[in-house]
């Protein structure tokens, strides 16, 4: 498993009792980052004077060093989104999640590497080099939040923020043997997150323990006037039920999650974990999510369509890379985008533009939205008889670098178990459930909850985490 190092609890306790200061733990992590720079987990690091602990000294996160995926804005700092087109873009304001962390008094260590504009499942699509999995440097850390997951797994931060559009928090958490939580869509503000697909994106924590994930959620969740998709409702204490048992919890196991394509060693670990939930007092129920088989196809129509619209703003005129080639405005547009975007953004922009074009909108995009509604309905039906749904996070353990980079379809299949959750807007967590018997690499276990029921998801995850020790 990951080199756990400091948790939020141990970091806060150490600062509180005077074992070390916020400055000393910050400097300790900066030294580790430098020592392990070959992992390429960070794109930039900060000085304590610039982004050390903010004035707050109370609360669970005060003085705790964290890392931020480089598609979230921190005022005065470069935000590249892993792309050459934003290589020199300096943020003019703080993302809401960053404002909330500043208020909580965290220390920002730096910005983490990522697939370009969050497009990928391996962090091999970054314009600034591939991230290595700290558990086996010949393998990928997953993506697109691979830098954040690798930083947490290698103890190069206490916790990190990632973003999840189709599994980009949970899948790299699974590959790196750490905890990754995708909140309900609308639970955490997306204001200041560089958009990929606006109806799917969600910010969430990557941590070393389930308890840490709950503490970060307490800090970053909530309604935001700058994001109309956030929901105005009472905010629970996400950590309150972590010690509570799960006797009587109804756990659904979709038969569709255990078909072809699932590695035997992943299946074995996941099934063992389901039995541990049963031993902890949960009841296990086989369920069906019949439209799951269409989720990947639906996702790869809706997501590129939104990508096509969101990335249209990067034209080389207002900000970002501007080509010096060409004599007319259109030449500048074309050259700037050709030079600035990598292969994967170009691929998805073209797919999305095609799906939205005249004559194809009804056949592709509109039909995909209708099937998306059916996928959500499947979950709604299932949650009438169960409290959570469980299964593998990814069909395999971390694969070798370069193994799937020439086959986009094989790469896309890495998200087959996570994509349906984003399409339905549900909360889900990935926790490590052991090491593969042959690969000796971590296996991720996914727990999916009802809308805005992160509390039950975290409670179930905490119980399983204790059972696995």
121 classed as catalytic: no
Nearest to 163 by CA among 155, 176, 173: 173
At 464, is the secondary structure helix, strand, or coil? helix
Q: At what angle do helices 454-468 and 264-279 cross, to 10 degrees?
A: 100
For strands 65-69 and 107-112, give the pairing: parallel
CB 32 within 8 A of CB 179: no
69 classed as catalytic: yes
% helix, strand, coil for the chain, step of 5: 40, 15, 45
308 classed as catalytic: no
Catalytic, out of 69, 100, 102, 111: 69
Catalytic, out of 83, 122, 144, 414: 144
Nearest to 368 by CA among 423, 309, 444: 423
Rounded CA-CA distance 166/199 in Å is 11
What SS3 string covers 102-132? HHHCCEEEEEECCCHHHCCCCCCCCCCCCCC
CB 98 within 8 A of CB 73: yes
**In DSSP terms, which residues pair with 130 in a beta bridge?**
none
Catalytic, out of 145, 148, 168, 189: 168
What do you get for the CA distance between the two ends of the chain, in Å? 11
CB 178 within 8 A of CB 155: no
**Cβ neighbourhood burial of 243 (10 Å; 0-12, 13-18, 19+):** exposed
Q: Which residues are catalytic?
A: 69, 144, 168
């Amino acid at each position: 498993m990951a080199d756990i190092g400091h948790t939020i609890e141990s970091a806060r306790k150490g600062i509180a009792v005077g074992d070390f200061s916020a400055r000393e733990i910050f400097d300790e992590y900066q030294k580790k980052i430098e020592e392990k720079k070959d992992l390429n987990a960070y794109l930039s690091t900060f000085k304590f004077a610039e982004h050390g602990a903010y004035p707050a000294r109370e609360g669970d996160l005060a003085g705790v060093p964290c890392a931020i995926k480089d598609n979230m804005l921190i005022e005065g700092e470069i935000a590249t989104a892993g792309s050459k087109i934003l290589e020199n873009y300096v943020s003019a304001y703080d993302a809401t999640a960053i404002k909330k962390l500043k208020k909580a008094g965290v220390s920002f260590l730096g910005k983490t590497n990522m697939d370009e504009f969050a497009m990928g499942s391996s962090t091999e699509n970054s314009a600034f080099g591939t991230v290595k999995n700290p558990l086996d440097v010949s393998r990928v850390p997953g993506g697109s939040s691979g830098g954040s997951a690798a930083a947490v797994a290698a103890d190069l931060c206490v916790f990190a923020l990632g973003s999840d559009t189709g599994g980009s928090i949970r899948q790299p958490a699974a590959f790196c043997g750490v905890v990754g939580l995708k909140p309900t869509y609308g639970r955490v503000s997306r204001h200041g997150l560089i958009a990929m697909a606006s109806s799917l994106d969600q910010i969430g924590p990557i941590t070393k323990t389930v308890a840490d994930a709950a503490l970060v959620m307490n800090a970053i969740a909530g309604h935001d006037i700058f994001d109309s998709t956030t929901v105005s409702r009472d905010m629970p204490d996400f950590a309150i039920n972590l010690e509570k048992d799960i006797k009587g919890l109804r756990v659904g196991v979709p038969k569709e999650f255990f078909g072809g394509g699932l590695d035997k060693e992943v299946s074995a670990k996941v099934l063992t974990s389901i039995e541990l939930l049963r031993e902890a007092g949960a009841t296990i129920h086989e369920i069906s999510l019949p439209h799951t088989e269409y989720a990947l196809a639906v996702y790869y129509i809706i997501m590129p369509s939104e990508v096509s619209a969101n990335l249209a703003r990067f034209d080389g005129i207002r900000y970002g890379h501007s080509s010096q080639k060409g004599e007319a405005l259109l030449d500048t547009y074309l050259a700037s985008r050709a030079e600035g975007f990598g292969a994967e953004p170009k691929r998805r922009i073209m797919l999305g533009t095609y799906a939205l074009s005249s004559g194809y909108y009804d056949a592709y995009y509109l039909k995909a939205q209708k099937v998306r509604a059916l996928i959500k309905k499947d979950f709604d039906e299932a949650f009438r008889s169960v409290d959570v749904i469980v299964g593998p996070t990814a069909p395999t353990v971390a694969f070798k670098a370069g193994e799937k980079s020439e086959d986009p379809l094989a790469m896309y299949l890495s998200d087959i178990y996570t994509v349906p959750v984003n399409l339905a807007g549900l909360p889900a967590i990935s926790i490590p459930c052991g090491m593969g018997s042959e690969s000796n690499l971590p296996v991720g276990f996914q727990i999916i909850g009802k809308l805005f029921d992160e509390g039950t998801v975290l409670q179930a995850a905490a119980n399983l985490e204790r059972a696995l020790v």
